[in-house]
Structure 1
Amino acid sequence: MRSLPSFPDLRAFLSWLEARGELARIAEPVSLRHEMTAVQLACLRRGGPALRFDRPQGARIPVVANLFGTRARVAAGLGLQPDEIAGFGEFLAALRSPAPVEGMRDAMSRWPMLRAALATRPRLLRHGPVQEEELPGLDSLPVQTPWPGDGGPLITWPVVLTRPQDSRTEDLTRYNLGVYRAQVLAPDRLILRWLAHRGGAAHHRSWARAGEPMPVAIALGADPALLLAAALPLPETVSELGFSGVLRGARSELVAAQTVPLMVPARAEVIVEGWVHPGETAPEGPFGDHTGYYNAVEPFPVMRVSRITCRSDPLYLSTVTGRPPDEPSVIGEVFNDLALPVIRAQIPEITDLWLPPAACSYRMAVVAIDKRYPGQARRVMMALWGMLPQFSYTKLVVVVDRDIDVRSWDDIAWAISTRMDPGRDVMLIDRTPMDYLDFASPVEGLAGKLGLDATTKIGAETAREWGRVMQLDPKHEARAEALLDAVLP
């Protein structure tokens, strides 16, 4: 399925980007406190390249940022051209729920799927590049303090590896990989901010119940497939390590950590190893978040660092989270397209879906359906809210007909203003799960949901004759374009 080469590590991806003019090196010193954030966001808003800061002030390790600042680079991280994203989403949906094989010809046509499945099995190495050298402490890393109101330096692109207490080191399918922000407390202390519904938090609870410290490893500067797999909202039964092999088109390479019983990415730039002890927490934050607001200070688990290994001449990968547009919102747009075939497999009448980045990438959804019966829009709303945990945080769903472009605010506004009646077409639900970062919620973790049925009303939905949409003959429109092309510059 890949049309681009496999990138075994971050360096291979950066070399590929640089050869295409998609990597810019900044030789001037740049402060890790706030100034680097300004440069990253300015570059992203221009649709600019990935950045390498060669001289971060107060540090010797270069910083890589804005890696996935454009849709094209997110696609490239998956090994794809931008126009291949939708097709890859169909492939991933088929890989999750393959249709029955019908004959030898059909079986042979499934070879790419079989090869992808085989790529999910990691390869175990005795030695890895990430263990070539050792760093004395976290203060050796060029960790940013992104926003002026932040509580301290924040690691923003960590891939955190954990496993449950009843597992073994070699039980790789039970590992969880998540991108959880990590506040630096001291050269040997981190705060890990994982929320209660995330896999890392579930593993933490299993170790705490047993009264044992939990082993944790943090990969910094992993390969693009592993980074994106860790960020994807995958079902709990799907291994991020295995799924990264599908994205990469090659098996993940792992090596045993040196001080904790975990396998870690052999080609990452840096591995931070350590332990989280039961009941040990520290106040985390405040930090600027994707909502555009600072989080409140709250207690989260502390990780005691036991060792930091790295490659020779390591790179440090960083990003900035803030009000969209930011790098996570760009990644989220691509994930939207990848997820659509999976969503359509569950709710077939959906023809398109858009999660507007400006709405924090998940707080609002605009859904187009092939409407066939009364009440269908409400059924789709309820199905979305109940289908995936991620949609439980979507507080506004707008359902439109398939003739509406869900990515056009003009189309959305027209559908709402001409096909939706506030007294009939509004669904309001109270006290449902909500991201506790939503300060608009009247109760932390609980909030309402709003559904707007902006579809054409049919059958029992209306007693009136519905209006007909005005349209010109496509032949006349084509003729008009041809005439204007001939007379206008």
Structure 2
Amino acid sequence: MKDMRDFVKEGLEKGLCKKITAEVDWNLELSHIAKLNEEASGPALLFENVKDYSTPVITSVCTTTQRLAMIMGQPLDSTLVDLYQAWAKLGENLVPPTYVDKALAPCKENILYGDDIDLYKFPVPQWYPLDGGRYIGTAHFFISKDPESGWVNLGTYRAQLLGKDKIGTQFIKGKHADIMLKKYQAMGKPMPVASIIGCDPLLFILGAARVSAFVSEYDVAGALRGTPVEVVKGETVDLPIPAHAEIVLEGEVDANKFMEEGPFGEYTGYYSGVGTDPRNFMDVKCVTHRNNPILWGTTVGRAVTDTHMTMALSYGATLWQQLLAMKIPGLKAVYCPPEGSGRFLAIISMKQMYPGHADQVLTAAISTEMGAYGLKTVIVVDEDIDPWDIPRVMYALSFRFQPNRSQVIKRGRSTPLDPSLPIESRDITGRLLLDATIPYDWKYKPIPIELDPAMVQRVKSRWSELGF
């Protein structure tokens, strides 16, 4: 799968994507259709007839585990945990992108500069009634490059349409794009960036992942695909651009310039603020796009929909990969529920092998690149509990968990989008580490009730005779 068109083609063939030919208004109607469809775990939707526009919009690309599996090239019956394991295994051997001839890059079919740039030519939706405007970047990512090391980062940050040649940025403090922007600020220069709207869906998923610093998401995508991502140089920026992207916005972000941005209905199910905030913005210098470009958007909003499934995959897989890299023995599986956007809650199963083992795993989880940012609750369960089996996790919390064995850590890095904290105090969060295991060091452990194996076989042999 090289691009969004490959996704649409395969999705239509497998019944995982649906075309909507009826006219749909970009102002709230499109988003509400998509939202209700996502909450019903419906197919990806390709809106071919958007009011006032002649080009399509696609939504709900990542709503189900089945479509995430298709994107990753894994069996369609894979679970999220199966995808975590595949990600961890395939992602070990990084594969850098490869440059292709500009003449062969579909993203260069149309190239616009200066007065020809008008972002309102694209069917950008108004997603929710209280949003501060239309958001062109919900399922996109920004490309930026570290001015010192040359490290290329792909990061998903929301982007409001602020003008015909300007879009908002929300480079949250401490995120990789923010770190790079501060370096350009110290140099007295604006930061070159590119916004990619519509591409191989795996690149967007990686843009939302917590990939370690100094590792390019392009290299991880190459590892997961087993082949290099094809890129071309930008027209006005020295950045690698996905050759098969639908829409590419090239420009720069000046750390010292601001525009009012927001609010926006976030994946937490709440608005990110009560009004607008001054934020840095992207001054668009060039737009390139394919013929009849597909604008990709996601409804975000309350769980569980497109965004939450994307984060459950990218955050969960990254956490699992980073835990495995710590070489801690006894790890069995990890699960980051979509209901928690894949980032606020993690459940880990393990085989205890020595005293304090469970405590080691709990603290390791919040020490990973992924867990250090926003992870609030970690639950560790014994190896007989599957972390995705929520009823069994509730059983462990009821009959194995003891509050006096839990840990409360009062300070950790938070996300400014966490609605459980006051808007003015979202830099720091608390963390709760729950040990729902039977302690390894207990001399006398609870005796489990087990069925007699021979009697189980006997009963099963009579199952139909008994009328079942």
TM-score (norm 2): 0.90
Task: Report what 2:323 is aligned to.
Answer: 343
CA change 1:352–1:158 in 2 (3 A) is same
Task: Report what 2:187 is aligned to.
Answer: 210
**Structure 1 residue 228: Cα displacement:** 2.7
Instruction: Give the aligned residue type for 2:231.
Output: L
Task: Report what 2:282 is aligned to.
Answer: 303
**Structure 1 residue 487: Cα displacement:** 4.8
Q: Secondary structure at the match of 1:435?
A: coil
1:43-442 to structure 2, matched below 5 A, reads 43-82=37-76, 93=88, 117=94, 119-127=95-103, 128-134=105-111, 136-154=117-135, 155-166=137-148, 171=150, 174-296=151-273, 297-335=276-314, 336-337=316-317, 339-346=319-326, 347-422=328-403, 424-441=404-421
Give structure 2 stretches of 5+ with no counterpart: none
**Structure 1 residue 37: Cα displacement:** 2.0
1:466 partnered with 2:460: no
Which is worse superposed, 68-77 or 431-440?
A: 431-440
Task: Report what 1:106 is aligned to.
Answer: none
Residues 431 and 448 of structure 1 are in contact (CA less than 8 Å); yes or no, is this contact kept in structure 2?
yes
Deviation by residue 1:347-367 (Cα, 9 ceiling, x = unmatched): 322212221221232111222
CA change 1:178–1:392 in 2 (3 A) is closer
Instruction: Give the aligned residue type for 2:27.
Output: R
CA change 1:353–1:474 in 2 (3 A) is farther
What percent identity do the matched residue pairs reach? 28
Q: Secondary structure at the match of 2:394?
A: helix
**Structure 1 residue 147: Cα displacement:** 1.3
Distance 1:330 1:389 in 2: 16
**Structure 1 residue 182: Cα displacement:** 0.3
CA RMSD of aligned residues (A): 2.4
Distance 1:478 1:231 in 2: 48
Aligned length: 455
Q: Secondary structure at the match of 2:256?
A: strand
**Structure 1 residue 196: Cα displacement:** 1.6
- Whichever structure has more helix as a proportion of its residues is 1
Task: Report what 1:456 is aligned to.
Answer: 438
Give structure 1 stretches of 5+ with no counterpart: 1-6, 98-112
Deviation by residue 1:154-191 (Cα, 9 ceiling, x = unmatched): 12111211112346xxx5xx111111110001111111
Deviation by residue 1:378-398 (Cα, 9 ceiling, x = unmatched): 222111111224344211112
Deviation by residue 1:273-314 (Cα, 9 ceiling, x = unmatched): 112123111222111111111001432211111121111111
Residues 344 and 351 of structure 1 are in contact (CA less than 8 Å); yes or no, is this contact kept in structure 2?
no
TM-score (norm 1): 0.86
Task: Report what 1:32 is aligned to.
Answer: 26
Instruction: Give the aligned residue type for 1:226.
Output: L
**Structure 1 residue 90: Cα displacement:** 5.2
Distance 1:38 1:345 in 2: 42
Distance 2:50 2:91 in 1: 43
Deviation by residue 1:114-158 (Cα, 9 ceiling, x = unmatched): xxx5x4241232332112124631101111121111111012111
Distance 1:82 1:24 in 2: 17
Distance 1:333 1:55 in 2: 31
